[in-house]
Structure 1
Amino acid sequence: MTATHSTRMLILGSGPAGLSAAIYGARAGMAPIVVQGIQPGGQLTTTTDVENYPGFREVIQGPWLMEEMQAQAEHVGAQMMWDTIVEVDLSQRPFRLVGDGGHVYLGDTLVIATGAQAKWLGLESEQKLRGQGVSACATCDGFFFRGKKVAVIGGGNTAVEEALYLTNHSHDVTLIHRRDSLRAEKILQERLFKHHGIKVLWNTEIDQFVAGEGNQGLVALDLKDTVTGETSRLDVDGGFVAIGHHPATELFEGHLELDADHYIKVTPGTTHTSVPGVFACGDVMDKLYRQAITAAGTGCMAALDAERYLAEADFEAEEAVAAE
């Protein structure tokens, strides 16, 4: 049996951004519905140690943090729906979304918090060692490699920025790029080449992430020269894959204005999108910071923006009725 669910605030995505929006929306009396999507809880559910989320002295676990956020949102009145949206209509209010099982969701406002996924190399060894020395976020995990030897894989802005950031923790950083020149902005390249703590391996790709004995995690990278085919091994404690991200915006192609990298465009300083009443928060609109705390902050902003939008719309409707 299919059903239709209506709400003043419909939230798509259940990571830190979506759940923060739900908390603020529920406290404002908008009884938000959160459609949780393919990965309930977002990327933090695949993250083990979290040491940089404010309010916790000791290291916490990502899945636990997201469970607590969801429990808080439900406690103040948000409703969670286990569904995946496959169709959207933003041409009129209420906005209409359809789940893969046929359920229809109607929202006077829509908050999009579908996030972005890091791109990976696709190696089996990479998958096995994720969280055990292999990471896609130096800002998140670099602290755990203080004084250790690390490598960054990639050649764009993200890779160069992560290599530079890691020098705050490591005296031995290697940037590995499969080509003979970087795609990063010139100023970033200049900073990289001038830094004495970073060396670059050109025309090199990862053949395998090498695990140590027992539960040791990553201990080395097996490398391959893309020109000669020669193989080698680089001993490292940490490997950071920095080849970009995929924002989850496929649903909104043709419905909302996106930038060249397919992130949702918002009015600077707000979460307003190109469609009035539709708001975007978290990694789906943030290609720069991509942190749980910044996602939560923009989730708060989206709820406040949505609340103000509805208050103005209600006022205008009342004024129109009074004028008649």
Structure 2
Amino acid sequence: MGGECKSKERQKVYCDVLILGGGPAGLSAAMYASRAKLFTIVIDEGLTGGQVATTYHVANYPGTNGVVRGMDLMENMKRQALEFGAQIDELKLIEDIDLESEEKYVRTEDTDYYAKAVVIATGATPRKLPAEGEQEYRGRGVHYCATCDGALYQDANVFVVGGGEAALEEAVFLTRYAKHVTIINRSDKFRASRGTQDEALKNPNISIIWDSIVRKINGDTFMKSIEIENLKTNEIKEIEADGLFVYIGTEPKTDFLKGKLILNENGYIDTDENMKTNISGVFAAGDVRNKTVRQIATAVSDGVIAGIMAERYINGKQ
């Protein structure tokens, strides 16, 4: 007879501070909470680092010597958190959560976590392109991470959708591989900083299509062309394309919090300046929070405040 298949026994873990998300905000909160001698655990549905880990270079993070790779920056933060005593549990998908009780509870596939305070730093994910064929050709021509997939497009004709900081930075990065990069922007001006705009506009391998959006993606096994509509003339034209990289904003990773915490109309978490949510002992930090500026430096700042406030909450200082 074959061996009996036994289910894995669930673990119960108790901690002082449980941090959901291992990006800049979560790791910064972990540094401060664990340095305050609190047993701190960071859980992440993937690998630590967040969106920053997939960014090829970061040129505006204070204190760095010129340009630093996003992956290196996040490895430094992870190492610091671990050295202060934090525990990091990766590949932990949240299945259920109870924030109302004095002892907070988070359930993952194999572990039940109980904590005195929780910091939500789950970040945001790229907003998907609202075009026909996007889902069909996602990963087969349509991408959301140039650092991850740009090398696939050596000497290719690549398009970038968006007009913000990320779109222009990644367009410049893609010129390392692609023969030519075309930026498609829905208005007649960019939202990126002047320095980033200058870098893109001066690059001879970058051109721009203004006042336009992608309506449809065509192909067979892989994407072959895109249909673009000019929003001023309503003209639609089909253009051959090897790859399409999309940077049109982000959406917060808060689906698991619906009905558990007050979210605004866009799904972001409202907090005060001390990162407090509407529930005592629950804090939010980073891109998941309702705010105007979302940068690595602001995520770190949020995380520092959340870590300190979690420690004060636990020790009855507030």
Normalised by the length of structure 1, the TM-score is 0.71
Structure 1 partner of 2:300: 296
Give the share of equivalent positions with the same residue, in percent.
30
For residues 174-253 of structure 1, what are the structure 2 equivalents within 5 Å?
199-201=210-212, 205=215, 207=217, 222-225=226-229, 229-232=236-239, 241-253=246-258
Which residue number corresponds to residue 320 of structure 1? none
2:269 equivalent in structure 1: 264
Structure 1 residues 249 and 63 mapped into 2: Cα distance closer, same or farther (>3 Å)? same
- Structure 1 counterpart of 2:12, which letter? T
Q: Indicate how the Cα distance of structure 1 residues 204 and 13 shifts in structure 2: closer, same or farther if over 3 A, else same.
A: closer
Aligned CA distance change for structure 1 residues 111 and 70 (closer, same or farther; 3 Å): same
Aligned residues: 274
1:10 maps to 18
String of CA shifts for 1:95-147, please: whole Å, max 9, x gaps: 0111112x11111000000000111334432328723474878335646749x
Report how far residue 311 of structure 1 moved: 2.4
- Unaligned residue ranges in structure 1 (runs of 5+): 177-198, 209-220, 316-324
- What code does the residue aligned with 2:95 have? V
Alignment deviations for residues 5-30 of structure 1 (CA, whole Å, 9 cap, x no partner): 11111111100000000000011111
The one of 257, 278, 286 equivalent to 1:274 is 278
Does the C-alpha gap of structure 1 residues 287 and 222 become closer, same or farther in structure 2, counting only changes over 3 Å? farther
Residue of structure 2 in register with 1:126 after alignment: 142
Spell out, residue by residue over 1:271-293, the C-alpha distance to the aligned partner (whole angstroms, 9 max, x if none): 00010100000111145322111
- Equivalences for 1:79-158 in 2 at 5 Å? 79-82=87-90, 83-101=92-110, 103-121=111-129, 122=134, 123=137, 124-127=140-143, 130-131=146-147, 132=150, 134=160, 138-140=164-166, 142=168, 145=172, 151-154=183-186
The corresponding residue for 2:53 is: 45
Shift in CA distance, 223/129, structure 1 to aligned 2, threshold 3 Å: farther
Distance 1:162 1:56, change over 3 A: closer
Structure-2-length-normalised TM-score = 0.72
**Is there any run of 5+ residues in structure 2 with no aligned partner, and where?**
1-8, 151-157, 174-179, 219-224
Going from structure 1 to structure 2, the CA distance change for 1:243 and 1:171 (only over 3 Å counts) comes to: closer
How far the C-alpha of 1:65 sits from its partner, in A, is 1.7
Q: Deviations over 1:141-177 (max 9, x none)?
A: 646749x98624457xxx963498864545589886x
RMSD: 3.7
- CA–CA separation in structure 1 for the residues paired with 2:86 and 2:163: 30
Whose helix fraction is larger, Structure 1's or Structure 2's?
Answer: 1
1:231 Cα deviation (Å)?
Answer: 2.0
